[in-house]
Structure 1
Amino acid sequence: MVAPPLAPFIGDELDLSKALTGALTTLPILMLAIGAMPGSLAIARMGPRNTLAMAMVVMAVGSAARGLVPDTASLLVASAVMGFGVAMMQPALPALLPRWLQPHHLAIGSAIYMNGMLMGEFIGAGITLPVLMPLLDNSWRATLIAWSLPALLIAAALFLPRRDLARPTRKMAWLPDWKNPLTLKLGLLLGLSGSMFFGLNAYMGNLLEQQGQFDRLSEALFSYNIAQVFASLIMLKMARLWVGRRTLIVVMASLSIAGTVGTITLDGWWSIASATLMSFVAGILLILLVALPPLLVSSEETGRLSAGTFLVGYTMAFTVPMLGGLLADSTGDVRHALMVMIAYSLLVLPLAFTLDLKRQKGQPEG
């Protein structure tokens, strides 16, 4: 998330087009889908902790390499490597929970690590320009490198806990179980949350400019992104009560759609407030969905279910906003991009009513 605030400086030095500048943010999202399967394979062969440590090293190397690149092509390659590392982290985190936590702590464990991720995103995006960059002689290259190095320390710290309550069997399946309806349902619903959050984040500037309130962009983006932090804080308190409840998934998905509709139909601050509401409930929905695999399947199956969910979810989170952007380019109305996201969300919303959130038969606790 430090790429968006640094994008103007990177674009000026490397002479990037608007599309390539946007790719600095969207390419890692695409890699979240592409890297889900290698992450699942690594979990089956190496275990989730080793996979997570390796993924963080890959992420750190790719991220730091962005600060050393000489041209656009190498910048995109480095961004893809970084995104690949992040992608491998995604299924490793939920797969690690049953090995470190008792079954009754799985929901709060999911809320804690999601809170950490969202806080990290907000802090990274928020203090890069006003704090870190001035300390590094206003160098975007040094700033990228500085943000990357702490990941190496965290990778080493992963080996400090000794508990491993559910050691993997010697042979573990790693390909998604497409016969399990949860894989596709959770993935498509994750795509609902991701496509609207990432999509509206990407088109916020264009939408406000079309509405004649571009001068409010910085305040709008601040409230929009901090809303997800508040969502994660709420989930720290409510995770044990809320995770695993189908009704809440339906409510949060419906409110996400309503918030996006309000963003394009309301005016002034009401439009920004509606976008902020969408970000808040989409953040809660995200945690409700990613916390489910450890609760519904055994520790050996958690990685492949999470990987399948992320594969589908992030593919849609990248594809749907992109298709919306193509439509908006052809019509000249940015609202049409958001309408595509709304249409997708309405199509997959009924899946939330059909979720079976009981622990699957034959799956031991923890």
Structure 2
Amino acid sequence: MLWLAGVYLRIPILVAPPLAPFISDQLGLTQALTGALTTIPILMLAIGAMPGSLAISRIGPRNTLALAMIIMVIGSAGRALVPETLTLMVASAVMGLGVAMMQPALPALLPRWLAPHHVAMGSAIYMNGMLMGEFIGAGVTLPVLMPLLDQSWRATLLAWSLPALLVAAALYLPRRDLARPVKKTAWLPDWHNPLTLKLGLLLGLSGSMFFGLNAYMGNLLEQQGHFDKLSSALFYYNIAQVFASLMMLKLARSWVGRRSAIIITAALSILGTTGAILLEGWWTIASATLMSFVAGILLILLVALPPLLVRSEDTGRLSAGTFLVGYTVAFSVPMLGGLLADVTGDTRHAIAVMIGYSLLVLPLAFTLDLKRKKDQPKS
């Protein structure tokens, strides 16, 4: 169940890029609106974290996860049925809201389904599903699913969306659901807890470089005169995160909760991104692929921390605060870089902005306090 829910953290978002040309042709979208099919849901990953935290504090993480998946299906399937541009964008926002609510619900669910020494493994399992969802959504849609559905983008969206309803129902099969809230608990992020901001800013380091380099890869290779390598570059770039998640299935127990692992992977992510703009051709692709691989490991290391560090009733709010900060950064830093690149005419400057941000926040990794907070009753 954790793995399947993880898959649906990304498939609804990552099917948009391969389907975008077909949607654009039929609905007459501009380039900006075509890009918004992906950027609006990513922005919603930040905005929707708070509703997810509120729902967790009121109805519990399992009910929140099921509700969020239903909202996601309504938005994702709604995109397949829309008649024009405005409703397409509204449906994309609704879909993004559902995915955003799912994100804090999953780490909050782990302590209720798993014994304490299995929480890190549980994080690795659903994150493996998420990263597999990225690859499946981007890689299977055009060559496999669309030909089976008469090249219909609407039918393809429905085919990806509707099975999530079965997953939502199946969430109630496991009987174990410990630490169920007996009263309303706090749901707003605890900004007095330094972990909220630190983990969020470090998550932004991982997200801004991954999403940003993914977005600018085509422009970067075109500027180098190697645009013909784009298809291969994106394949290696995205599948690297799948291998990262598979490796973490083996190493989660020993790596999650170690500050040194976070420092090393963050530094290697910066190094790989820097190499992508200093090198050319296949060396650029290899360096970017290295960044994607270690950024995937860093993502799992960070997302797995809340259920390990705070009380079960506080896991949702810490996760929500982390996602709020992290995805706001992951959306805004690449955008600022793009504005700079528009002014200078050099794609490398867009990526340099992401590197600069990452160098600024890297010292936070050295200050992380990763000791478990004791489970004490609230006064």
TM range (shorter): over 0.9
Out of 101, 104, 114, the position equivalent to 2:117 is: 104
- Give the partner amino acid of 1:89: M
The amino acid that maps onto 2:44 is: M
1:19 and 1:10 map into 2 onto residues whose CA distance is 13
Q: Does 1:264 align with 2:242?
A: no
CA RMSD of aligned residues (A): 0.9
1:336-366, CA deviations, whole angstroms, 9 ceiling, x for partnerless residues? 11011001000100000000000124459xx
Helix, strand or coil for the counterpart of 2:81? coil
CA contact (8 A) 2:107 2:304 kept: yes
Residues 276-319 of structure 1: per-residue CA shift (max 9 Å, x gap): 00000000000000000000001100000000000000000000
Query: Does 2:141 correspond to 1:128?
Result: yes
Whether the 8 Å CA contact 1:250–1:349 is kept in 2: the answer is yes
Are the aligned partners of 2:58 and 2:185 in contact in 1 as well (CA < 8 Å)? yes
In structure 2, what is the Cα distance between the partners aligned to 1:113 and 1:168? 23
Question: 2:105 aligned with 1:92, yes or no?
Answer: yes
Aligned partner of 1:170 in structure 2 is: 183
Matching of residue 218 in structure 1 with residue 231 in structure 2: yes
CA separation of 1:123 and 1:363: change in aligned 2, threshold 3 A: farther
Alignment deviations for residues 157-201 of structure 1 (CA, whole Å, 9 cap, x no partner): 000000122222312100000000000000000000000000111
What does residue 57 of structure 2 align with? 44
| Distance in structure 2 (CA, Å) of the matches to 1:182 and 1:236 | 24
Tell me the secondary structure at the aligned position of residue 67 of structure 1: helix
| Equivalent position amino acid for 2:129 in 1 | G
CA distances 1:111-159 after superposition (whole Å, capped 9, x unpaired): 0000011112211211100110011110111111111011100000000
Structure 2 residue aligned with 1:187: 200
User: Is 2:311–2:374's contact at 8 Å kept on the other side of the alignment?
Assistant: no
* 1: CA distance, partners of 2:36 / 2:308: 35
For residue 301 of structure 1, what is the aligned residue in structure 2? 314
Structure 2 counterpart of 1:60: 73
Q: What whole-Å deviation, never above 9, does each CA across 1:189-232 have from its counterpart, x for those lacking one?
A: 00000000001111111111111111111100000000000000
Counterparts of 1:164 and 1:89 in 2: how far apart (Å)? Answer: 17
Aligned residue for 2:82?
69
Quick one: distance in 1 between partners of 2:37 and 2:329? 18
Alpha-carbon distance between aligned partners in 1 of 2:177 and 2:95, rounded to the nearest angstrom: 28
2:37 to 9, 19, 24: 24
Consecutive unaligned residues of structure 1, counting only runs of 5 or more, are none
Q: Distance in 1 between matches of 2:141 and 2:61?
A: 31
Amino acid at match of 2:242: V
- What residue in structure 1 maps to residue 265 of structure 2? 252
Match of 1:200 among 202, 209, 213: 213
CA distance in 1 between counterparts of 2:152 and 2:122 reads 37
Q: Any gaps of 5 or more consecutive residues in structure 2? A: 1-13
Distance 1:125 1:245 in 2: 32
Give the counterpart of 1:357 among 353, 359, 370: 370
Aligned to 2:4: none
Distance 1:12 1:300 in 2: 47
Give the CA deviation at 1:260.
Answer: 0.4
Residue type matched to 1:198 in 2?
A: F
Asked whether the 8 Å contact 1:169–1:300 carries over to 2, the reply is no
Aligned to 1:287: 300
Equivalenced residues, count: 364
Amino acid at match of 2:65: L
Conservation of the 8 A alpha-carbon contact between 1:58 and 1:85: yes
Whole-Å separation in 2 of the counterparts to 1:325 and 1:71: 28
Q: Does the residue aligned with 1:359 lie in a helix, a strand or coil?
A: coil
- How many angstroms apart in 1 are the aligned matches of 2:223 and 2:81? 37
Task: Write the letter of the residue equivalent to 1:357.
Answer: L
Q: Residue 183 of structure 1 aligns to a residue in which SS?
A: helix
Identical pairs, percent:
83
Q: Is the 8 A contact 1:297 1:363 kept in 2?
A: no
Matched residues in 2 for 1:315 and 1:120: separation? 22
Question: What does residue 256 of structure 2 align with?
Answer: 243
TM-score normalised over the length of structure 1: 0.98
State the Cα distance separating 1:20 from its structure 2 match.
Answer: 1.2
Q: Which residue of 2 aligns with 1:345?
A: 358
Q: 1:152 aligns with which of 147, 165, 169?
A: 165
- Name the TM-score, length of structure 2 as normaliser: 0.95
